[in-house]
Amino acid sequence: MTTLPRNAADDRRAFAETPPATEQEGRRDFLTARRRSAVVELSMTVLTVVVAVLIAFLVVLATGKDASGAMDALLTGPLERTPRIGRWLADATTLALLGLSVAIPFRARQISLGAEAQVYTGALAAALVAINLHLPPVIAVLVPLAAAALVGGALGAVPGVMKARLGANEIVATLMLNAVVVRLFDWLLTDHLKAPSSAAVQSAPIRPDAALPLLTHLFGVPLDHANVGLFGMLAIAAAVWFLLARTPLGYRIRMTGSNPSFARYGGIDVPRTIEWSFVLGGALAGLAGAHLVLGIYGGLQPDMAGGLAFEGIVVALLARNNPIAVVGAALLYSYLRVGGDVMEQQTDVGSETVIIIQAVIVLLVTARALPDLVKRYLARKGAR
């Protein structure tokens, strides 16, 4: 009965007597392993995109069309003019927020597909505040953003509570909630919020003080709808990384996603952690909706999200749910979206090529075939 305590004491004594060189070697090995893991993740992302573009090139080539011209327009078109760069940055801002909103519940091993409903809810809340309330200049921007985050988080709590407390399937719950919210949004916009003086179905424009300042005014070059929301998105991505990596809530989210049974054994309230992951994800999706209203459209329009919510899932998958990598994945993915529009305008190849690239990216990421190849290659290289 005394063997275990004696061995534990011996282990503690041996650890205390470990030479500093050994400790330094351990830290060095740990940092080396982390750097190698980062290299693997970066290699996987780049290789996945390269293979997807190559497959799209072969598909276009098989149709007998100008594949080289189409790929040139796809890969270089977004950088040819500053307005296209602005479209790229504005699109990446929304996609990054949506990718972050999905990555948080994914880290808790919750497949949340409710970002679409949260985007429209956040857009609706931001528009109602920005249209109807006359506020001081800076407050006029912050209050609609806060309203969008609060409403989006509240809506995210609905499937979170259903999953954590009632055992409902989060996939079904979020998808059905999407259908309800989007139809409700269309009804409100068409029958109650449509501007009387407008022939199109759209709301009244937001107040000028509530609009996000454009980068065009800051840098003096035409950058389309790119706005200061880009800098806010970068700050949010850093905050999400800090939350997941350096806070108790982030630890609970990571442990719940890694091993729920072990998390319960360690005293973590798993149901509440699941709820918080949905709430935080919903708040970020609501901010994405506010960005569409305050920075892109200047009001409410039908189908204003345009499938962006589900493309945010692709961004999160491509980034392996890493908040910092989500920014890079969003920039890359939105670059392909803008390049697809340029390709469709300049060549006889439709933007369906971009859809092929998106599909291949999803297949490669979920199959994890390329990641395993990269890891085996690096392992053999390290062994040599």
Letter for the amino acid at 68?
S
Letter for the amino acid at 308?
L
pLDDT at 168 over 80: yes
In a domain, 87, yes or no: yes
Higher pLDDT, 49 or 328: 328
Instruction: Tokens for 314, please give them.
Output: 């692709």
In a domain, 271, yes or no: yes
CATH of the domain at 258: 1.10.3470
What pLDDT was estimated at residue 350? 77
pLDDT at 16 over 60: no
The region of weakest confidence among 36-50, 85-99, 177-191, 206-220 is 36-50
pLDDT tens, residue by residue, 128-145: 999 999 999 999 999 999
Residue 79: other Cβ atoms inside 10 A: 14
Name residue 214's beta-bridge partners: 227
User: Is the pTM of the predicted complex or chain greater than 0.95?
Assistant: no
How many domains in the chain?
1
In a domain, 141, yes or no: yes
pLDDT tens, residue by residue, 17-73: 444 446 566 666 655 666 666 666 667 777 777 888 888 888 888 877 788 888 898
CB-CB contact of 351 with 340 (8 Å): yes
In a domain, 51, yes or no: no
| SS3 annotation, 315-347 | HHHHCCCCHHHHHHHHHHHHHHHHHHHHHHHHC
Nearest to 123 by CA among 140, 142, 105, 145: 145
How far apart are the C-alpha atoms of 50 and 92, rounded to whole Å?
19
pLDDT at 2 over 60: no
Domain span at residue 251? 66-347
Nearest to 105 by CA among 89, 118, 90: 118
In percent, the amount of the chain with pLDDT more than 90 equals 63
In a domain, 88, yes or no: yes
What pLDDT was estimated at residue 40? 65
In a domain, 131, yes or no: yes
**The tokens 């290789």 sit on which residue?**
47
CB-CB contact of 111 with 145 (8 Å): no
The half-sphere exposure of 136 on its side-chain side, counting CA atoms within 13 A, is: 2
pLDDT at 12 over 60: no
pLDDT at 260 over 70: yes
In a domain, 181, yes or no: yes
Per-position DSSP letters for 234-299, written without gaps between them: HHHHHHHHHHHHHSHHHHHHHHHHH-HHHHHHTT--HHHHHHHHHHHHHHHHHHHHHHIIIIIISS
What pLDDT was estimated at residue 33? 63
In a domain, 249, yes or no: yes
pLDDT tens, residue by residue, 299-326: 999 999 988 999 999 899 888 899 999 9
What pLDDT was estimated at residue 17? 47
Phi, psi dihedral angles at 331 (to 5 degrees): -60, -40
**Residue 375 pLDDT level (bands cut at 50, 70, 90):** low
Q: Tell me the average pLDDT of the chain.
A: 86
